Structure 1
């Protein structure tokens, strides 16, 4: 009888799902679990993006990644898989600008005006993102107020950059599947490392990037992953709502990584103003004025210039803003 039961149990055993080892590696007990290697991270997210993992596995995978904390090698592998999925490749772009902020206190995306002013001055900027979880105005919704529109595909985004110096590529266009996974936050109740992955995509292999995080501990991860990809210039700040944006009323530290190494730039407060209501399009068009909003825009232009290695960034930023019209 015992032999029969044992034999029956063996015959009825369900084979392990190919994705299960990744969940097991992350979720074993204390002293046994570990982060994924770079190659494991790439394989795991590639399977997720290809539809080769079950929904319950994806949820467990994302939350275990979050619970363990973001590991540089692991995230590098995840980013590699995501770059494969979005078709990342070199293109004529000077500055990569991710926008995935989800702050509860955000208002208008003043950093968008900074990017547009830079484009007017001859710098080619590709912004990409998803602002679904922000309480403020999303970039995609702000563009029509300025007579602009988000790109419908990668080719159109690059055409926009070629024609005007600026293009906006929504994550939902770059990779609908990656966008769906990012949006699992609504079901899981927590941000997952996919937010970090999306910020680090650099889909056009721009030589410079400006990046914002919400929590300071993520700065080291973002810079570490950028180093793994040997990105020439990469600047990270703790910005409002996780965006690459400078609050002009207080000092800020900017973390800059170049081929020569890393350094922390201490940037002073620019104004003594406080945030007030201002008309977004009016600030761009010059029909409205707000020292705090304009200080935010000018200070953020400086961040982008520092990221690109433009000399005298602090002096050039106000001139670039003034020359937008």
Structure 2
């Protein structure tokens, strides 16, 4: 009986084995430094690249998420690289992990083939060509133009090597629709065979779309696939480059602008745009500020017109205006009509697309620094990584609930910055929030203008404007985090003397 208690019987092999309760974890018996341990890491890494999720990889490997996380940590230590980084709802591979993808897939596929029961070559039935030919015929109904045919026809599922070879010549294809179809295939194939687009591929794909050479079905397919998986920095950078090429010509965009301040609030947002007054303070301090955005229900454009910020409908007009005034607002529909059209697809999907993220990084007048507002936490580092790929070394990203760079002084916040190409995080403590004041029978716009003119005093609005202007000034001057207090005081002084200074015209 003692033997029955200590060992279980494998009824198929007739061997004795230790019960589950007494087995040692395989991580303990096969550390990452051993041959079997490293093989286990490669299998786990392949599964993570395929699934893009620790939880789903754990289910596929029949392990716990904690065990897969440990394996990922060991793989990172082994390669000296993060390998997978969070982007939206998925883990996306770093360039190092991407370089391993096909080799890992080939290893996994060969392992699966080696474990299968093989059929001797002599027993394999060769198909009769005459029989195959008898099943071939022209289709009864030809596919309409919008039904894109596959770029290549396959008799069977290709292996990793064959897939890589088939997709290797995408850029050389002269037909833009066929080329875009291949990019969609790169992103949208089933797990294990898909991968993110490179920067060059993304730029070519979106150039095809913005030039009007894409099929409408292709546009929807690519945008939804990218959003579902989560965009990478390279994909966003490629989209931004394609967008810039679509509205810049020759030397356009080379100006002495100091700060690019995108403003793309949701049309559903009902919040008062205090950030517009902060931008005007920065311009009054002698810095050239470029704002660009969308109609957003009209609230933003009403504020810009009411406070006297000039509006430019093209890059050339914006350049001329900035030479006369220190601030200009550019509606996206004016200088990037096709981009505006892509953003207008929101009602068809009821969700955002990659374009909603890319517009924040357009920087149409090539300003030296940028001030962004990003609502989703996972996308703040993504925007910073994308900016580095685009060659922008100085920016600040505000944790905003509405995709506009406006600080909330009454909440503790982390701001993601780039200072001369170095990632720096700035943490701010929450201030005591004063009581909310009524608007005294005025409309929201009238009250907003009354605060600017001094006819109404609002401590909450003033604190918001001052902190937002302070961060903008810090960004322009590439100042270290320690100087936030001094820039806040500078912003207070700008606010107090905002009507004593004659703005340049």
Calculate the TM-score normalised by the size of structure 2. 0.60
1:161 to partner: Cα distance = 2.0
Q: Give the superposition deviation at 1:229.
A: 1.9
Call closer, same or farther: CA 1:215–1:162 in 2, change over 3 Å: same
160 and 273 in structure 1: CA distance in 2 versus 1, 3 angstrom threshold = farther
The answer as to 2:320 corresponding to 1:320 is no
1:289 maps to what in 2? 457
Distance 2:186 2:321 in 1: 44
- Structure 1 unmatched runs, 5+: none
Post-superposition offset of 1:271: 4.2
Given the superposition, is the C-alpha separation of residues 277 and 198 from structure 1 closer, same or farther in structure 2, using an over 3 Å criterion? farther
CA distance in 2, matches of 1:33, 1:281: 52
- SS of 1:126 mapped into structure 2: strand
Using CA pairs under 8 Å that are at least 6 residues apart, name the structure with larger relative contact order, 1 or 2. Answer: 1
Deviation at 1:178? Answer: 0.7
Distance 2:194 2:438 in 1: 50
Inter-partner Cα distance in structure 1 for 2:437 and 2:352: 29
* Consecutive unaligned residues in structure 2, runs of 5 or more: 1-129, 144-148, 152-176, 440-446, 500-505
Q: Which residue of 2 aligns with 1:215?
A: 376
Structure 1 partner of 2:199: 38
1:35-74 to 2 correspondence within 5 Å?
A: 35-74=196-235
SS class of match (1:241): coil
> Is the 8 Å Cα contact of residues 102 and 131 (structure 1) preserved in structure 2?
no
Contact 1:249 1:274 in 2 (8 A): no
Contact kept? 1:270, 1:299, Cα under 8 Å: no
Q: Is 1:231 matched up with 2:395?
A: no
For residues 130-209 of structure 1, what are the structure 2 equivalents within 5 Å? 130-132=294-296, 138-209=299-370
SS of the residue 1:81 aligns to: helix
Retained in 2: the 8 A contact 1:103–1:241?
no
1:114 pairs with 2:114: no
Please give the alpha-carbon distance, in whole angstroms, between the structure 2 residues aligned to 1:149 and 1:286.
22
In structure 2, C-alpha distance between the alignment counterparts of 1:68 and 1:32, rounded to whole Å? 14
Indicate how the Cα distance of structure 1 residues 276 and 150 shifts in structure 2: closer, same or farther if over 3 A, else same.
Answer: farther
Instruction: State the superposition RMSD in angstroms.
Output: 2.1
State the SS of the aligned residue for 1:240. Answer: coil
Separation (CA, whole Å) in 2 of partners of 1:5 and 1:321: 80
Residue in 2 that maps onto 1:22: 183
| Alpha-carbon displacement from aligned partner over 1:275-309 (angstroms, at most 9, x marks no partner) | 55551111111111111111111110011012112
Report how far residue 131 of structure 1 moved: 4.4
Going from structure 1 to structure 2, the CA distance change for 1:283 and 1:120 (only over 3 Å counts) comes to: same
Aligned partner of 2:429 among 245, 259, 268: 268
Residue 7 (structure 1) shift: 6.4
Measured in 1, the distance between the counterparts of 2:181 and 2:498 equals 54
8 Å CA contact 1:210–1:304 kept in 2: the answer is yes
Match of 2:321, SS state, is: helix
Matched, 1:6 2:174: no
8 A Cα contact 1:273 1:292, kept in partner: yes
Q: Paired residue for 1:307, among 475, 479, 499?
A: 475
Structure-2 separation of matches of 1:243 and 1:211: 7
How far off its partner does 1:268 sit? 2.4
| 1:121 to partner: Cα distance | 1.2
CA separation of 1:149 and 1:305: change in aligned 2, threshold 3 A: closer
CA-CA distance at 1:160 after TM superposition: 2.6
TM-score using structure 1 length: 0.91
How many residues are treated as equivalent by the alignment?
320
Q: Distance in 2 between matches of 1:82 and 1:5?
A: 47
Partners of 2:388 and 2:421 within 8 A in 1:
no
